[in-house]
Amino acid sequence: MDENVPMFENLAGSTWNVKRGHVGIVDRRSGETVAELREPGQLELSSSQAKLRGAVAARARAVKASSYSEFLSCLDQGIAAIEAYLNRRASLWNQSNQNDQLIDSRQQRVSFDDKIRKWVPRMTGSPFPLGESFWDHFKKLRQVRDDDSIHPKRESYTISLEELACLINMFRTGVCELLIRLHLAFDDVVPAVLIRARFAPNVVVTKKLSQKALCGRYDRGHG
Give contact residues for other proteins (rule: CB under 8 A): 6-7, 10-11, 62-64, 66, 161, 164-165, 168, 180, 183-184, 189-192, 195-196, 198-208
The residue among 10 and 15 lying less far from other proteins, judged by its C-beta, is 10
Indicate the SS3 state at residue 123.
Answer: helix
Q: Tell the smallest beta-carbon distance from residue 165 to other proteins (Å).
A: 6
Q: Judged by CB, which is closer to other proteins: 51, or 102?
A: 51
Complex with other proteins: residue 36 or 188, whichever CB lies closer: 188
Q: What's the DSSP call for residue 209? A: P
For other proteins, the closer of residues 82 and 165 by Cβ is 165
SS3 25: strand
| Per-residue CA distances from 81 to 53, 64, 103 (Å) | 9, 23, 19
Q: How far is the CB of 162 from other proteins (least distance, A)?
A: 9
Pairing of strands 41-44, 33-37: unpaired
CB-wise, 139 or 217, nearer to other proteins? 217
DSSP secondary structure string, 40-97? SEEEES-HHHHHHHHHHHHHHHHHHTT-HHHHHHHHHHHHHHHHHHHHHHHHHHHHH-
- Nearest approach in angstroms of CB 67 to other proteins is 9
CB of 189 to other proteins, least distance (A): 6
| Least CB distance to other proteins at residue 117 (A) | 23
170 close to 142: Cβ distance less than 8 angstroms: no
